[in-house]
Structure 1
């Protein structure tokens, strides 16, 4: 366990060299004919993690999950669960359960019977089944719905029934395949926090597959960003967002403006020459950029301030407001610079007003500090 400055324990087993992973992918490749769905993936996932596999459709995240579940076998490499090679273990004998997007509830069975189904198949004693189902109903706040059929409850409640059924057998690992995809935005956001609460209470390791960046960033202890069967970065949500390791990850996670240029050292800082007639951008970075090498500079809109008058600071650019996105709590301004580049800036709407601070065609200045941008090699 890592510790914060006030000595409170922080969950970060991946930082502890003495902590053994629950799941270990070792050089795993999966091919379907001539198509490589997963290429040489090595990855450790630890006990009690809520781990997210994130990426666009076709990136390989679902194939990784199916390999864990036993529905596919690796073409190359090895997958271990709790230190044991699981390749020869059939899906129904793995200490793994899977929750599908469709929930796959039995429509003719009650909520109670759906949760009990797997326990009965295992031959658990009736009194123990009753105790376990009651425990699962309490955990998922479904006590009053035990006698109802799936069609008599809401989508969010059906999602919790599927979760309760998946957890009833106390698996070491629960796989969640786009579990919230069928829910509307508000319910999905509420259910994300319910999932986090249940995962923390049970201590079960969760691995979720999602293409929803916000969902992954909300629920996960760590996120693996994938593209074309390759792991691009594995890190905590804050590290992925604030310190992406590539242009791909920076562009995939959240909203960002990415500029191409060439960086040169200026003492402890870099100066990035990115457009003729525009001042160089000033940044601090641990990334080493060689003289004359092409680089990319990423800046997120919430880091960018917008002003009517020119501020006295680094990274000050002049432009014109060409578009405005009003989202209630924030407004996003699209500012076009003289060279045609668009910079997005956000401001919080802290006062109750229907008037925007800036409007279309306004001449404005945007700026950010030298520690807000992200310098990326290549």
Structure 2
């Protein structure tokens, strides 16, 4: 049975749940969000990713209603949300600190918003039971927050946020307080819960791995602008700028001058080095500066010069990062340029072929690198 691919952003008939239209937000002289227009669709898990101060939290606070745009409008489900106060929006927010009530049980924490909205007792009981089941907390219903683990507290906060069935759930660095192993497990739990409920999630994070794991689309931000919003695979394989290529994952950037050659370009990057070649859809003028971005896993390392690749360079191993299943070799070329190459560790340490200071060849195929305007 073929699974239908979830890509509403590629469907001209799909109606966005959230629309930012020419949104700018200023704090005095400082522009936090700079004239942004983009859409988020129903049932999406959308990640706002970027370094501190890039504007991702301001974007989220405007959706929640804690900040109003200086210019432009934000639409939720076809309605301008500016006049709607935060507590009346079909939006809920889960804070990094979880903000649970310490004196209330897990059950009462989840029921809190429903009671405040005047929902009937039986309906509250049913909804809380549903949320406890969804977040696998049934056994902990009577416990207080201090009697459960950090990961469980995180799930209580999530259950409470989802109890009122919001159209949109905002998650502000939701896994920041968890240790690495728990973060990973919780990422998959978040994805399962999001899929089960069909609620639209917008997550703010500076952790690229987290964004790439959970999101249907990732918006990479810098200085109040979305530089690229795309699927994790496209962000990684087809970054649209050097900034995005550099921000996501490990990458080597080689700057040079390009000349058109057949289906791609030759890249001259250093006097004493051979020209590199990259096949690309990017349209560049002959003689212009460009950046060749190459991921370490696409670079092979060998003792002999490979016959079958025109992108082959000789250098010496400067550093080795041993990552258990992989090793990343930092290979220095005679001109000082460092290129990272990755190899799987299929053999035991004592039997490996390369070590520090070894002279090696590194190579990659014509289509392995991305060519970007420098």
- So what's the TM-score if we normalise by structure 1? 0.97
Q: Say whether 1:284 aligns with 2:316.
A: no
Return closer, same or farther for 1:107/1:369 CA change in 2, 3 Å cut-off: same
Cα deviation 1:135-186 (Å, max 9, x = unaligned) = 0000000010001111111100000000000000000000000000000001
Cα deviation 1:334-370 (Å, max 9, x = unaligned) = 1011111101000111234454331111111000000
Q: Give 1:291 shift.
A: 1.3
Q: Look up the match of 1:314.
A: 310
Q: Matched residues in 2 for 1:43 and 1:350: separation?
A: 45
Q: Matched residues in 2 for 1:281 and 1:206: separation?
A: 43
Alignment of 1:47-66 (within 5 A): 47-66=42-61
Q: Matched residues in 1 for 2:10 and 2:276: separation?
A: 34
Return closer, same or farther for 1:352/1:128 CA change in 2, 3 Å cut-off: farther
Q: Say whether 1:82 aligns with 2:77.
A: yes
RMSD: 0.9
Report the secondary structure of 1:335's partner residue.
strand
Q: Matched residues in 1 for 2:261 and 2:31: separation?
A: 44
Count of aligned pairs between the two proteins? 373
Q: Matched residues in 1 for 2:313 and 2:306: separation?
A: 10
Q: Look up the match of 1:163.
A: 158
Moved over 3 A (4+): 351-356
Report the secondary structure of 1:297's partner residue.
strand
Cα deviation 1:195-241 (Å, max 9, x = unaligned) = 00000000000000000000000000000000010110010001000
Report the secondary structure of 1:323's partner residue.
strand
Q: Matched residues in 1 for 2:278 and 2:337: separation?
A: 19
Q: Matched residues in 1 for 2:114 and 2:349: separation?
A: 57
1:333 aligned to which of 317, 329, 332? 329
1:104 aligned to which of 64, 74, 99? 99
1:343 aligned to which of 328, 336, 339? 339
Q: Look up the match of 1:358.
A: 354
Q: Look up the match of 2:6.
A: 11
Q: Matched residues in 1 for 2:302 and 2:111: separation?
A: 61
Q: Matched residues in 2 for 1:7 and 1:130: separation?
A: 39
Q: Look up the match of 2:296.
A: 301
1:370 aligned to which of 355, 359, 366? 366
Q: Look up the match of 2:250.
A: 255
Q: Look up the match of 2:177.
A: 182
Q: Matched residues in 2 for 1:212 and 1:316: separation?
A: 34
Report the secondary structure of 2:330's partner residue.
strand
Q: Matched residues in 2 for 1:219 and 1:164: separation?
A: 18
Q: Matched residues in 2 for 1:262 and 1:202: separation?
A: 51
- So what's the TM-score if we normalise by structure 2? 0.98
Q: Look up the match of 1:3.
A: none
Report the secondary structure of 2:154's partner residue.
helix
Which runs of no fewer than 5 residues in structure 1 stay unpaired?
1-5
Report the secondary structure of 2:142's partner residue.
coil
Report the secondary structure of 1:9's partner residue.
coil
Q: Matched residues in 2 for 1:165 and 1:351: separation?
A: 49
Q: Matched residues in 2 for 1:194 and 1:341: separation?
A: 42
Report the secondary structure of 1:71's partner residue.
coil
Q: Give 1:243 shift.
A: 0.4
Q: Give 1:7 shift.
A: 4.7
1:221 aligned to which of 213, 216, 224? 216
Q: Give 1:292 shift.
A: 1.2
Cα deviation 1:35-94 (Å, max 9, x = unaligned) = 000000101000000000000000000000000000000000000000100000000000
Q: Give 1:262 shift.
A: 1.0
Which runs of no fewer than 5 residues in structure 2 stay unpaired?
none
Report the secondary structure of 1:10's partner residue.
coil
Report the secondary structure of 1:196's partner residue.
helix
Q: Say whether 1:201 aligns with 2:176.
A: no
Q: Look up the match of 2:207.
A: 212
Q: Matched residues in 1 for 2:365 and 2:190: separation?
A: 37
Q: Matched residues in 2 for 1:294 and 1:119: separation?
A: 59
